[in-house]
Amino acid sequence: MKTYLEKSPREIKRLISSVKEVSRETKMPAYLVGGFPRDLILGVRDWDLDITVEGDGIGFAEKLAKKLDSRLVRHERFGTATLILGDRLKLDVATTRKERYPACACLPLVSSGSLAEDLFRRDFTINAMAIALSGKKGWELIDKYRGKEDLASGKIRVLHRSSFKDDPTRILRGIRFMQRYNFKIEKETLDLLKEAVASGLLHRVHPHRIRDELVLMLKEKDPSAQVKRLHDLAGLSFVSSKLKPGRQTFGLFKSVNKQVSWFMEKLPCYGDFEPWIIYFAALLRPLSREEAKEIIRKLGFTATAAKKILGCRRIGSKLVKSLKRRGIKPARVFSLLKPLSLEEIIFLRSLWSDSLFRRNISDFLGVYNRLRLSITGDDLCRMGVMPGPGFRKILNRVLVARLDGKAGGRRQELALAGKIIRQLQQRSGARCPDMSVSRQR
């Protein structure tokens, strides 16, 4: 294992040696568990580390956070803690534990247990390995369920026959790993999975847990293949009986995939872009607005995600027709697309392949939307405008004029802003509600 770990990035090696130090100081044996040993053996880079400790997990995490001078989030109820290290590295610390499922598809009752019990409570053999970080066993791979062998032969295998009954979300996890690594689900596991699906176990899971698993699937490299596998093996009636993706949906997924790759490659400067939203909107596209809303409500998406998913549905034919029109002015393209989210825009570009239409969208994303005016809010303040929603209105109008070639440099922008302010002042005499222009100058 040491040779595998030596190939890891420097930040990870540093982190692991700090874990070893804390383990030595506190005399609490510590192990790397879960997805990290799996991905290490597969040679996949993984920035999420799970540590399990024989002893007090939270106490261990506190000492480690102090040593690393990092932020610590405690989850007292679960006896776990998370260390946030920079923007990509995350480390979860837990106490070795065992789980008991009081009823099928319920959350487990957790109590502390041995390392063997901690490994046995896990979903698949490939996720039930541990790397010892301390004591005589330092760097040894603990692999009681032949996970390494299953990794080598590309198999997803449960540890015991009630695994899917205990936690039916493992059906989705199994399909996700299968598709991600191009593995097969081992014969007996596949029988158990089909049995669990046939008994309707997924219908008993809380919709929010289903949502989290679906989103993880849609965040994988090939969401289309993920959904197709899920549909083939489990259907989607546990989300809604209305959800029956067919050739059209998978065709749209393909187009979304191309447009998402285009966007990420050509315009990596845009942050805060969530492609899974576009795939989810594509999945809901054959449904009526009411049916889509019902699914979104049931799954309990955040207001922002719900707004974006539904936003993808309100793209009207008028907007599409305008964007396909020859000779449409940049300013018009800007004002049509500016109110949409990035996800809505990329969804739109996936729906129609008309070349002029796609060029207008790429011009918006690549040029118009990145154009910066020479004037700022400070200039507007100096001109007597009070900060508020009116700011954006004025600046957008100047920007639109500039896109149409009507305001070239700073002087012209200032002159135009002045003109717009005067117009708004006149109107605000007649009570223009969101325009606050100071008159005391």
Please count the residues of this chain forming the interface with ligand CTP, following the rule CB under 6 A.
11
- Window 150-169: contact mask with ligand CTP (x via CB under 6 A): -----------------x-x
Both tokens of 434, joined, read 């969101």
Strands 71-75 and 80-85: antiparallel
Residue type, 112: S
Geometric angle at alpha carbon 358, from 355 and 361, rounded to 5° = 150
Contact 364, 333 (CB under 8 A): yes
Q: How far is the CB of 247 from ligand CTP (least distance, A)?
A: 29
- Window 169-198: contact mask with ligand CTP (x via CB under 6 A): xx--x-------------------------
CA distance 68 to 89: 13
Contact 49, 91 (CB under 8 A): yes
Q: How far is the CB of 314 from ligand CTP (least distance, A)?
A: 33
122 binding ligand CTP? (CB under 6 A): yes
CA distance 162 to 433: 63
Residue among 175 and 296 whose Cβ is closer to ligand CTP: 175
- Window 193-232: contact mask with ligand CTP (x via CB under 6 A): ----------------------------------------
Q: How far is the CB of 249 from ligand CTP (least distance, A)?
A: 24
127 binding ligand CTP? (CB under 6 A): yes
CA distance 168 to 209: 10
Which of the residues 236 through 265 are near ligand CTP (CB under 6 A)? Answer: none
Which of the residues 30 through 89 are near ligand CTP (CB under 6 A)? Answer: 34-35, 48, 50
Tell me if residue 395 falls in helix, strand or coil. Answer: helix
Residue among 50 and 344 whose Cβ is closer to ligand CTP: 50
Name the residue with tokens 């539904």: 310
**DSSP secondary structure letter of residue 432:** -
Q: How far is the CB of 231 from ligand CTP (least distance, A)?
A: 20
Residue among 50 and 150 whose Cβ is closer to ligand CTP: 50
Q: Which residue is nearest to ligand CTP (CB)?
A: 35
Measured CA distances, 310 to 23, 287, 297, 343, 353 (Å) = 49, 12, 11, 11, 22
- Kindly list the residues in this chain that would bind ligand CTP in the complex (CB under 6 A): 34-35, 48, 50, 122-123, 127, 167, 169-170, 173
